[in-house]
Amino acid sequence: MDVLLLGAGGREDALLRAMAASPAAGQLWVAPGNGGMNEIAQVAPIDPEDGVQVTLFAKDHDIDLVVIGPEAPLVAGVADNLRDAGIAVFGPSGAAAQMEGSKKFAKEVMAKAHVPTAAYEAFDNEADALAYLEKVGAPVVVKADGLAAGKGVVVAQTLEEAQDAVASCFSGAFGEAGSTVVIEEFLKGPEVSLLSVTDGTTVVPLATAQDHKRAGEGDTGPNTGGMGVYSPVPFVTPQEQAQMETINEKVVRTLAAQGIPYQGVLYGGFMLTAQGPKVLEFNARFGDPETQVIVPRFKGDFLQFLYGAATGALDQVPMGWDARWAVSVVLVSEGYPGAYEKGKVITGIDEAEALDGVTVYHAGTAKNDQGELVTAGGRVLDVTAMAPTFEEARALAYEAAEKIQFEGKTLRHDIGARAAKGRDAWEV
């Protein structure tokens, strides 16, 4: 099976390696890939957000499956071009991807599906949004409606923070994504991600994971694309697990009833409140860095699993879960999520991967003119470790992370530390 994978991050490296391990894997292509992925797959010289280019390449190279990693090509409707051409594609249509592309749209679908979520209002002008803030006060959550690379959400503890967040959106900090602002009720509790894969009919829940969004230790500092993650989440109860799975299913069924079939990943971001799980947001693709701990724990033929979802045969693909824990620590460039330098030489990956149970996924990496691996983004590498216990996996991930060096290497040293203390760690 020849495959074209769109994307260039740690998520895509994890997807690529899992597909490459399949006995069914043929020629693998990536667009654009990164310094690690391009050692495994051939680079397709196309724009991954251009549906016409992607489709022509897939037809010319007899691609059997296109897997879309990031949200931007999905929201741009690349999957629609491919489906119209009869090419199997893993990823929802442009209409279905509005579950991530528009927070307002997602809230409207949630209301129709009768799933629990934070109370909200949406605004298309700054004056009305600021007037609403004066009425509701803080803490409150301010979100740019559209795609903002995981950085368009501010959990404001004070009214001033909330006002600044609204002003930032309407001043153009997030481009068109901030032209509508969603202001939400602040929910208390731990956050959990539950992703489900669906072919439009069958809905298969994946393992739970918990990302660490804040840049600094102790969940301080600005939001990032993710500084580290682990799976499974130890304090999720069986009842909460079942409720989250049902919520994802309800959304798939509700979209189908609206004439919007959903094929691909529906990523539910949940807050475990005292009243039960409530939806914070939905994403229309695999999470990054959640994928870097969920996919390594997947037992089965991952390529066939994705193909089954793309072709309406998901119920025919057996799968299970590795009982080991997975912890991933993200190594970032100094200054991230703000300004940072690129081109720093990376060493020590081979030494890290020599440790049993460790995989280093490439995110923001490239090769320089001398053929050296260098930094090429804010999030550079995902150091993932698998072990029989949570504490062993955490210790192994940090042991491996210490073996990797590049100028300005930055990381959080507390990934999973709060969860290791149990649910009570969120009750303060």
Task: Decide if 57 contacts 4 (C-beta within 8 A).
Answer: yes
Portions of the chain given CATH number 3.30.1490.20: 119-185
Portions of the chain given CATH number 3.30.470.20: 191-322
CA distances from 297 to 178, 388, 419 (A): 36, 12, 19
**CATH number for the domain whose boundaries are 325-423:** 3.90.600.10
Written as one string, the DSSP assignment of 255-273 is HHHTT----EEEEEEEEEE
What is the rounded CA–CA span in Å between residue 100 and residue 80?
A: 16
Instruction: Fold for 119-185, please state it.
Output: Dna Ligase; domain 1 (3.30.1490)
Task: Decide if 41 contacts 5 (C-beta within 8 A).
Answer: yes
Q: Calculate the CA dihedral of residues 182, 116, 93, 302 and round it to 10 degrees.
A: 120
Q: To which residue do tokens 């969940």 refer?
A: 219
Summarize pLDDT for 278-293 with one digit per residue, the tens: 999 999 999 999 999 9
Q: What is the mean pLDDT of the chain?
A: 94
What is the rounded CA–CA span in Å between residue 288 and residue 280?
A: 17
pLDDT computed for residue 359 by the predictor: 98
Tell me the pLDDT band of 372, cut-offs 50, 70 and 90. very high
Summarize pLDDT for 379-398 with one digit per residue, the tens: 999 999 999 999 999 999 99
302-310 and 10-20 are packed helices; what angle lies between their axes, rounded to 10 degrees? 100
Three-point CA angle 280, 284, 375, nearest 5° = 95
**CATH number for the domain whose boundaries are 3-93:** 3.40.50.20
Q: Determine how many CB atoms are found less than 10 A away from the CB of residue 39.
A: 11
Summarize pLDDT for 340-363 with one digit per residue, the tens: 999 999 999 999 999 999 999 999
Report residue 420 as tokens: 């290791």
Pure H helices in 114-206? 126-136, 159-170
Report residue 135 as tokens: 């009425």
Q: Determine how many CB atoms are found less than 10 A away from the CB of residue 120.
A: 17
Phi, psi (5° rounding) for residue 240?
-65, -40
Residues in the chain: 428
Report residue 112 as tokens: 């129709």
pLDDT computed for residue 156 by the predictor: 85
Greatest extent of the chain over all pairs of C-alpha atoms, in Å:
59
Portions of the chain given CATH number 3.40.50.20: 3-93
Summarize pLDDT for 123-157 with one digit per residue, the tens: 888 898 999 898 888 898 888 877 776 667 888 89
Task: Decide if 49 contacts 25 (C-beta within 8 A).
Answer: no
Task: Decide if 181 contacts 123 (C-beta within 8 A).
Answer: yes
pTM beyond 0.85: yes
CATH architecture of 191-322: 2-Layer Sandwich (3.30)
What is the rounded CA–CA span in Å between residue 361 and residue 347?
A: 14
What is the rounded CA–CA span in Å between residue 261 and residue 208?
A: 24
What is the SS3 assignment for 31?
Answer: strand
The residue type of 377 is G
Summarize pLDDT for 71-91 with one digit per residue, the tens: 999 999 999 999 999 999 999
What is the rounded CA–CA span in Å between residue 21 and residue 28?
A: 11
Nearest CA among 193, 182, 132, 181 for reference residue 159: 132
